[in-house]
Amino acid sequence: MNALKKITVEKFSKLKNYKSFYSIEKLKEQISLYNNFIDFKGKLKKEKSKVSVIAEMKKASPSAGTIVEKYNPIEIGKNYLDSGASCLSILTEEKFFLGKLEHINEVKSKIKLPVLCKDFFIDTFQLYLAKAAGADAILIILSAINDSLAKQIYDLANELNLTTIVEVHTEEEAKKALVFKEAIIGINNRDLTTLKTDINTTYKLYEILGSHNQPLICESGLKSEKEVEEIIKKTGINNFLIGESLLKDLNKKSSLLKKITQISL
């Protein structure tokens, strides 16, 4: 069983537990009372003249194992804010990334940045969970679900005023993603079945996605500001979702995040 399949099987199991505790009606009530939503896509659009980083926080990952031993999402979020992050991505998948939905509201109560709920969305119920937890954006991984479910999740996200990031890794997925006219499209350099990364994925898929009229994001495998500069030069993409490289660099005075956000377009 490949890595993506293992994660989605576990997610189905976890969702049964959530559904036994929460009704959609209860989640809608929580959403109506929450007063700290921020426009994720709007933030990136306002910053189209600069390099924007969606800085990711996660304790662990299947490819890297434990990344941060003493994991404190609020402290990491403050570090990212001070270093120039435009948005945050918070891993909420429990088993493989050791995340928690509760981390979203904990972070947003202290840090005024829009947050992507980074998880494996395989059921529309998860959108209510994410929004009730304070999420401003959700992720549709096209390789994880069928086209019909992707459309259902996208339509409901629009109804709930959640920014959608449609994530692609292959040429076929890139072509499909163009149907989601209002979505941000994320090019994932990581193959989620093998967990291997290849930056050339961004260059290859940009040829298909360059005409999309919403922001594009380059995701995964970025390790230096030089790589970021090269991608900007060759594609014009100025939004980057970076996790592991930033997390390993948190305590440096001249951090990688600062160097990237100070790149001139």
Residue 57 to residue 242: CA distance in whole angstroms:
9
227's enclosing H/E stretch is: helix 225-235
What pLDDT shows up at residue 1? 64
User: pLDDT tens digits for 26-52?
Assistant: 999 999 999 999 999 999 999 989 999
Residue 110 has phi, psi (to 5 degrees) of -115, -25
Provide the residue-wise pLDDT of the chain in tens; the chain has 265 residues. 688 889 998 998 899 999 999 999 999 999 999 999 999 999 999 998 999 999 999 999 888 889 998 999 999 999 999 999 999 999 999 999 999 999 999 999 999 999 999 999 999 999 999 999 999 999 999 999 999 999 999 999 999 999 999 999 999 999 999 999 999 999 999 988 888 999 999 999 999 999 999 999 999 989 999 999 999 999 999 999 999 999 988 776 668 999 999 998 8
Residue 38 has phi, psi (to 5 degrees) of -130, 145
Residue 234 to residue 41: CA distance in whole angstroms:
23
CA angle, residues 250, 263, 241, in degrees to nearest 5:
55
Which residues, at least 6 apart from 149, have a Cβ–Cβ distance to it below 8 Å?
122
Tokens of 67: 């990344």
Residue 134 to residue 30: CA distance in whole angstroms:
9
Above pLDDT 90, what percent of the chain?
Answer: 83
Residues, the chain: 265
User: pLDDT tens digits for 125-137?
Assistant: 999 999 999 999 9
70 within 8 A of 169, measured Cβ to Cβ: no
